[in-house]
């Protein structure tokens, strides 16, 4: 499989896409309807019901007979070949504001050993740095990082299996491992962001929390704190896991009828929290520590706009979207499974898993809801920040099934009603197909003229609730999850529009610089950024400037004048153009040696190379180009009036 995936990845991708092309929502709904009919008929007809039970017992027997190392290896390699082949379609970054920041961190680690995370987690930067250590150019580094991210995300199957093994059988735990690396959010592996690394790290943290709850020794609590630090250094969102630990201990103590002793057993953890909190307070007061880094502003701004009504609506939207993304049945069964694990007489491992899963799921959900309501939200759900809990959902659902589908009347009514009510409360405006939300790409395919999309999703959740009320077969939960994963992946899959050689062409600066030299990228915007964004020429220049920064290892400093690059939205140091066209930064004249900027803005120096939009952008909509110049000492524009007068801006297409 590795050889096939490595030698013929494009052929693998074409074969997979032929399958995905058939996975429309209409066909998946027909398949699910057929399965629902089979379930209902199976309840009525004894011969059919007996045959179904025999098939399920046979499947369980096969799974139980396979050793977990070989099984997980086969699962991960199979999934890895598919995800890597599909991910190759993304030959260029697209989420600039995020990927550009994390690419800078990774390059800093690789080239200078800098551990400055710029306010973001460092673990992803260290992992991605291998892409730069093992390659010689930016294009190869980017594509190697995509492969590394696939491998890192696949490793989530291991902690997912060990977590599941504490409460369900070996065969069912293998199913959880397979579902963990089959979810459509695996497509985030093709991005230079923290999602890939946080997926397994989060599950490792949950495993450490479960182990500490089972036996709160000093060693296990130290391991838990280490996992917490690792999670925080991977993704700042993990700060919420501090509260999850407190909540998990309280739930575990309550379930075991010894809350006080459980809290007392975690005294070392509470002491560590107090010491860390004191250090953060002192460091913040002294101005040397920013506990949330780049996300501190998000928290400060969010506290002023939080409203119970908004929190309820975004909770409904996020819970419903993640439920639809897991095939509905698993998410509805999840709380029933947790209740079964917390019942009186359950074992320590069962109570520990249920307590940890409840606490971390609520904590992660809370961060997503707050983000969605803040002014930094995208206006849609935050599956990108929430999908980490999906393996816990699958485990809880299968634990419920293995324990005989217990349905306490009051709890079942509450759970089924809550699922439907949350679907009804989901704001229709939150239904959008964006990078932060994968599920809606599938659930917006049906014709909305006869039945609005929101109502279609409500109907799907209602049908799922009815199925859960009658369910007697485990395989239906698994099939629903797999069919949905295929459908969501198919809906979000984008065949390649450009060849992978485009990324290599963007390495034009490295190829044209003398040995040992570095270049500065200077982005010259214009007053009235909105006007510039609608100019095809300026839009192409902005995108090419970002790609030039990403794919050239010898691009050092990135500067901006008159405004931020509208494509990257990442603020760079600003410069000014003074008398005679001399460019200065903080009052100092710049002498960069080599500089990249819009080809229509000549400088005093020698032009060495040109990158045209028609060579790298498909389809080109303008005649944009970037030029690489060797300066003659001071960086000086030949015609400064181009960016200082109205007529000059009009000539640049930015008036």
What tens digit of pLDDT does each residue of 174-194 get?
Answer: 999 999 999 999 999 988 889
Nearest partner of 168 among 357, 435, 371, 429, judged by Cα: 357
Q: Please give the full DSSP string across 233-255, using - where no structure is assigned.
A: HH-GGGGGHHHHHHHHHHHHHHH
pLDDT of res. 28: 84
The more confidently predicted of residues 494 and 407 is 407
Strand partners, 555: 519
Beta strands in 41-92 (DSSP E): none
Lowest-confidence segment of 233-237, 266-270, 560-564 by average pLDDT: 560-564
The β-bridge relationship of strands 625-631 and 594-598 is antiparallel
What tens digit of pLDDT does each residue of 268-286 get?
Answer: 999 999 999 999 888 877 7
pLDDT of res. 29: 81
Share of the chain above pLDDT 90, in %: 46
d(CA 617, CA 632): 31
The β-bridge relationship of strands 605-612 and 625-631 is antiparallel
Residue burial 601-632, b: 16+ Cβ < 10 Å; e: rest: bbbbbeebeebbbeebbeeeebebbbbbbbbe
Q: How far is CA 298 from CA 121, 365, 382, in A?
A: 16, 16, 15
What tens digit of pLDDT does each residue of 597-647 get?
Answer: 988 888 899 999 999 988 888 776 667 889 999 998 888 888 877 666 555
CA dihedral 134, 136, 142, 147 (to 10 degrees): -30
Q: Is the pLDDT of residue 531 over 50?
A: no
Q: Is the pLDDT of residue 522 over 70?
A: yes
Nearest partner of 653 among 612, 620, 623, judged by Cα: 623
Strand partners, 607: 629
| SS3 state of residue 534 | coil
What tens digit of pLDDT does each residue of 78-133 get?
Answer: 999 999 999 988 888 876 677 888 888 888 888 877 776 666 778 988 999 999 89
Contacts for 487 with CB less than 8 Å, ≥ 6 apart = 23, 24, 25, 28, 442
Q: CB atoms < 10 A from the CB of 50, how many? A: 11
What tens digit of pLDDT does each residue of 114-123 get?
Answer: 776 666 778 9
The more confidently predicted of residues 524 and 243 is 243
Average pLDDT, the chain: 86
Nearest partner of 443 among 325, 331, 330, judged by Cα: 325
d(CA 612, CA 249): 60
What interhelical angle do 409-425 and 329-341 show, nearest 10? 140
Nearest partner of 368 among 321, 329, 415, 421, judged by Cα: 321
The more confidently predicted of residues 297 and 364 is 364
d(CA 84, CA 106): 21
Q: How far is CA 114 from CA 111, 270, 294, 318, 413, in A?
A: 8, 33, 18, 37, 55
φ, ψ at 560 (rounded to 5°): -140, 150
Contact of 577 with 637, CB cutoff 8 Å: yes
Contact of 445 with 491, CB cutoff 8 Å: yes
Contact of 597 with 562, CB cutoff 8 Å: no
Residue 96, both tokens: 């600039």
Q: How far is CA 548 from CA 95, 229, 408, 507, in A?
A: 15, 35, 60, 7
Say what the pTM is: 0.90
Contact of 122 with 115, CB cutoff 8 Å: yes
Identify the DSSP state of 108. H
| Strand order across the beta sheet in which 519-524 lies | 555-561, 519-524, 594-598, 625-631, 605-612
- Sign (positive or negative) of CA dihedral 481, 484, 488, 493: positive
Contact of 186 with 83, CB cutoff 8 Å: yes
| SS3 state of residue 381 | coil
Report residue 336's pLDDT band, with 50, 70 and 90 as the boundaries: very high
The H or E element that residue 520 is part of is: strand 519-524
Contact of 615 with 541, CB cutoff 8 Å: no
Q: Is the pLDDT of residue 655 over 50?
A: no
- Sign (positive or negative) of CA dihedral 87, 90, 95, 96: positive
What interhelical angle do 9-20 and 68-87 show, nearest 10? 90
Q: What is the mean pLDDT of residues 209-225?
A: 96
């Amino acid at each position: 499989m590795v050889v096939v995936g490595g030698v013929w990845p494009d052929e693998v991708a074409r074969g997979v896409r032929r399958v995905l092309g058939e996975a429309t929502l209409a066909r998946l709904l027909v398949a699910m309807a057929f399965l629902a009919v089979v379930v209902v008929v199976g309840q009525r007809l004894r011969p059919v019901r007996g045959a179904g039970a025999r098939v399920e017992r046979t499947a369980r027997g096969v799974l139980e007979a396979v050793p977990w190392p070989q099984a997980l290896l086969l699962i991960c390699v199979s999934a890895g070949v598919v995800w890597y082949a599909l991910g190759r379609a993304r030959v260029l970054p697209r989420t600039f504001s995020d990927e550009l920041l994390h690419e800078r961190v990774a390059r800093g680690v690789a080239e200078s050993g800098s551990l400055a995370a710029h306010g973001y987690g460092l673990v992803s930067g260290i992992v991605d740095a291998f892409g730069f250590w093992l390659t010689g150019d930016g294009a190869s580094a980017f594509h190697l990082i995509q492969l590394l991210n696939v491998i890192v995300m696949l490793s989530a199957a291991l902690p997912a299996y060990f977590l599941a093994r504490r409460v369900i059988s070996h065969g069912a735990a293998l199913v959880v491992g397979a579902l963990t690396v089959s979810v459509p959010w695996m497509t985030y592996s093709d991005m230079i962001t923290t999602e890939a690394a946080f997926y397994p790290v989060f599950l490792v943290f949950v495993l450490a929390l479960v182990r500490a709850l089972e036996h709160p020794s000093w060693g296990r609590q130290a391991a838990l704190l280490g996992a917490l630090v690792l999670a925080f250094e991977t993704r700042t969102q993990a700060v919420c896991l501090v509260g999850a630990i407190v909540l998990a201990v309280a739930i575990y103590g309550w379930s075991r009828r010894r809350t006080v002793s459980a809290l007392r057993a975690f005294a070392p953890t509470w002491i560590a929290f107090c010491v860390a909190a004191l250090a953060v307070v002192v460091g913040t007061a002294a101005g040397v520590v920013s506990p949330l880094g780049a996300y501190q502003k998000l928290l400060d701004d969010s506290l002023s706009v939080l409203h119970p009504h908004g929190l309820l609506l975004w909770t409904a939207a996020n819970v419903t979207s993640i439920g639809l993304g897991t095939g509905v049945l698993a998410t509805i069964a999840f709380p029933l499974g947790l209740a079964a694990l917390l019942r009186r007489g359950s074992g320590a491992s069962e109570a520990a898993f249920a307590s940890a899963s409840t606490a971390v799921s609520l904590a992660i959900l809370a961060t997503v809801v707050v983000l969605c309501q803040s002014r930094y939200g995208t206006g849609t759900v935050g599956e990108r920040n929430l999908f980490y809990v999906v393996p816990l959902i699958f485990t809880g659902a299968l634990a419920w099934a293995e324990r005989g589908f217990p349905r306490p009347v009051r709890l079942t009514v509450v759970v089924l009603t809550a699922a439907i009510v949350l679907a009804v409360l989901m704001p229709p405006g939150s239904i959008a197909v964006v990078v932060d939300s994968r599920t809606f790409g599938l659930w917006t395919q049906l014709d909305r003229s006869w039945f609005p999309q929101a109502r279609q999703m409500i109907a799907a959740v209602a049908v799922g609730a009815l199925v859960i009320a009658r369910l007697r077969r485990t395989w239906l939960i698994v099939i629903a999850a797999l069919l949905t994963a295929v459908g969501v992946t198919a809906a979000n899959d984008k065949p390649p529009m450009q060849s992978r050689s485009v990324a290599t062409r963007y390495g034009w600066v490295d190829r044209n610089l003398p040995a040992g030299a570095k270049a500065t990228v200077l982005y010259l915007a214009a007053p009235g950024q909105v006007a510039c964004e609608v100019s095809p020429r300026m839009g192409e220049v902005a995108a090419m400037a970002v790609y030039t920064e990403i794919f050239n290892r010898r691009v050092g400093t990135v500067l901006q004048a008159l405004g931020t690059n509208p494509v990257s939205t990442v603020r760079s140091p600003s410069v000014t153009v003074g008398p005679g066209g001399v460019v200065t930064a903080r009052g100092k004249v710049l002498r960069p040696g080599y500089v990249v900027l819009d080809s229509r803005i000549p400088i005093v120096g020698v032009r060495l190379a040109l990158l045209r939009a028609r060579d790298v952008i498909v389809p080109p909509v303008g005649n944009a180009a970037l030029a690489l110049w060797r300066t003659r000492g001071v960086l000086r524009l030949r015609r400064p009036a181009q960016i200082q007068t109205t007529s000059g801006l009009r000539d640049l297409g930015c008036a």
